[in-house]
Amino acid sequence: MACANKLHQVGLALHSYDAQNGVFPRNAIFWVGPDGPLGSKSGGLWNANVLLLPYLEGKQLYNSINHGIYWQMKENTTAVNISPGQFLCPSDITPQQGRIGATNY
């Protein structure tokens, strides 16, 4: 029941995002910039869940992310190592510890 409620909240967040931005969030955000830590001219993916954080009582985490740099860079280490409870199903038996930004949804 708690998992279904969280999915419902994610659905409401999607519609709130759409109402404010006129579009649903992209599945992933690929940042392009100067050479990054992996020697590429492209950055790591930010998934749509990041964009939904402000609509799911995650504004503080959202604001702690430096969206102008790769997610892999040290400035984002704290943020990417958090698995927001809004995206974790309480009935999931798979351990999420140690996974970067783990999510069930």
CB 42 within 8 A of CB 32: yes
Task: Out of 21-25, 81-85, 101-105, give the one with best mean pLDDT.
Answer: 21-25
Domain ranges for the chain, please list them. Answer: 2-85
SS3 labels along the chain: CHHHHHHHHHHHHHHHHHHHHCCCCCCEEEEECCCCCCCCCEEEEEEHHHHHHHHCCCHHHHHHCCCCCCCCCHHHHHHHCCCCHHHCCCCCCCCCCCCCCCCCC
Rounded to whole angstroms, the Cα distance separating 75 from 85 reads: 22
Q: Note the pTM of the prediction, 2 decimals.
A: 0.76
List, for residues 41-90, the tens digit of each pLDDT value.
555 567 788 889 999 999 999 999 887 777 777 888 888 888 888 888 88
